Structure 1
């Protein structure tokens, strides 16, 4: 259902292969909002280092992790959030007009760490102090930059697949207003999923998201959109990148910003009772959220009128939209 695409075809130098890849990429994002990418250019050793550093940090005692706390309010979106600080469920029904398919409010069972660009002129990063996971800052400054370079290439591929000039989308992301999120889902009893979830259903706010995850599984996408029914996206391991479209890309292009969540991992066939009373193992993921420059206007691009347009009362900027979407997740 979720096609695995080889990003090497985009960088092969063969124009026919490149264009075919771009068409498949856009088709997958239009139909489902998600595709799976391999050979995306981020080295396995770089991904291994990021996961090892993330795991090291989250295994620290809570009092050590709380030395780099996320503020109690939504902005700046930086630093460590303990279990229960953020509630994504408050935005689960964003964009839903059909009240009969409203999703229930569920408690998130996760802890996370949010990081931005070191070049961000508005928000500074909150790093662990000296003596608390000293490899953390250099590891994720480097990982952020690697993901940013990859993001620009993917945005170019999407532009080509849509029939737009190659730089159309990438030039709207020059300021690096992106965010990197490390997430740890602690081991929990299976019964907890009756009233909670690992992360509640939501759409991402930005343009595209690059998700790297371990092999535990549990990522699900609403299919068909608006139905309230979710299907699993099998994990291909940490070197596979799950790419999904966000709200800003949908506003620009009409590609599907798919609602997704992390829930109970699938059980092997014939083993449905295996985890009754058992503990579901911990899970780690790293998500890179490509977000437009805060001044970028969220108006349709495919009619040729979007680029260079002045802000009007009809269209908001990406910064205004992001601020509106994040409100309520922290209280």
Structure 2
């Protein structure tokens, strides 16, 4: 159902091939809000290192992880959040035609931003606590930003906009990187909890790298309240999804998604080797590409874009992000 795009095609010298790639890329996101991409400018060795160090951090004793704690407030999104601290379900039903039940999230996470962010500093593990953590994720963040710029160019061209349109709204690099561990849990826990509640992402696009445990689901058809599994192609395959800011600019679908008990596990748990109804732990790394905080969310396409000089004041991306994040901590 979901298309898989090889971004080596976008680097092709054949202009017609590039244009067709961009057209199909945008058409897929218009329909689903999700797609899979490979050869996306993030090197496999960097992905391997990021997963290795992420696992090493989450395997530390809790008292060591809590030396770099997330603030006890919604902002800034930085540092370590222990199991059950963040409440994504508080914004599960933003702009939703079919509201979802509010379920407790079963996860722990670590949030990282740009080292050059003028507003928020990063919160790193102190010296002596996994000293490879900071250089690994500073480098991985940069690789993801390089991939982001290429994807934004492809999106701009596929939408019929000048190539630099979307990149020009992301010059400040105020993106965020999130490491997540979903601990091993019983299948019965999913009756009252979930790994991460149904939601849409706040920013422009999200690049998701994940292991092969499964559980990622997307609402399909859009607005139906029904969720289907997205099969994992392993950590080198990236899941790309549209965020709310890109939807406001372009009308592309920003589909709700969640990490829950996959249909395969529900129906074939014993055949998959699961014992005692236990669902294994799951790791993922998400890169959230976000607009500059001062960027206007005025539509870029259609009749609404033609009103750019009518004096109407539109919400900025920073204002929108602050509104969406409220109540999650």
Same fold (TM over 0.5): yes
1:143-182 map, 5 Å = 143-182=140-179
Picking from 196, 205, 215, the partner of 2:193 is 196
Counterpart CA distance in 2 for 1:311 and 1:294 is 22
Contact kept? 1:311, 1:317, Cα under 8 Å: no
Report deviation, 1:223: 0.5
Q: Residues 57 and 115 from structure 1, CA distance in 2 versus in 1: closer, same or farther, beyond 3 angstroms?
A: same
Report deviation, 1:45: 0.5
Give the root-mean-square deviation of aligned CA atoms.
1.9
Report the equivalent of 1:59: 59
Q: Residues 299 and 115 from structure 1, CA distance in 2 versus in 1: closer, same or farther, beyond 3 angstroms?
A: same
Counterpart CA distance in 1 for 2:275 and 2:309 is 57
Report deviation, 1:268: 6.4
Contact kept? 2:204, 2:246, Cα under 8 Å: yes
Report the equivalent of 1:322: 321
The structure 1 segments of at least 4 consecutive aligned residues displaced by more than 6 Å after TM superposition are none
Contact kept? 2:109, 2:180, Cα under 8 Å: yes
Q: Specify every segment of 5 or more residues in structure 1 that has no aligned partner in the other structure, as ranges.
A: none
Report deviation, 1:279: 1.0
Report deviation, 1:265: 2.8
Counterpart CA distance in 1 for 2:308 and 2:110 is 35
Report the equivalent of 2:37: 37
How many aligned positions are there? 327
Q: Specify every segment of 5 or more residues in structure 2 that has no aligned partner in the other structure, as ranges.
A: none
Q: Deviations over 1:35-86 (max 9, x none)?
A: 1001112111010000000000000000000000000101111000001110
Q: Residues 261 and 303 from structure 1, CA distance in 2 versus in 1: closer, same or farther, beyond 3 angstroms?
A: same
Report the equivalent of 1:226: 223
Report deviation, 1:304: 8.2
Q: Deviations over 1:276-302 (max 9, x none)?
A: 842100000000000000000001101
Report deviation, 1:267: 2.3
Picking from 244, 261, 283, the partner of 2:258 is 261
Counterpart CA distance in 1 for 2:69 and 2:160 is 44
Q: Residues 306 and 130 from structure 1, CA distance in 2 versus in 1: closer, same or farther, beyond 3 angstroms?
A: farther
Contact kept? 1:172, 1:292, Cα under 8 Å: yes
Contact kept? 1:191, 1:277, Cα under 8 Å: no
Q: Provide TM-score, normalisation by structure 2.
A: 0.95
Report the equivalent of 1:26: 26
Contact kept? 1:294, 1:317, Cα under 8 Å: yes
Report deviation, 1:154: 0.1
Q: Provide TM-score, normalisation by structure 1.
A: 0.95
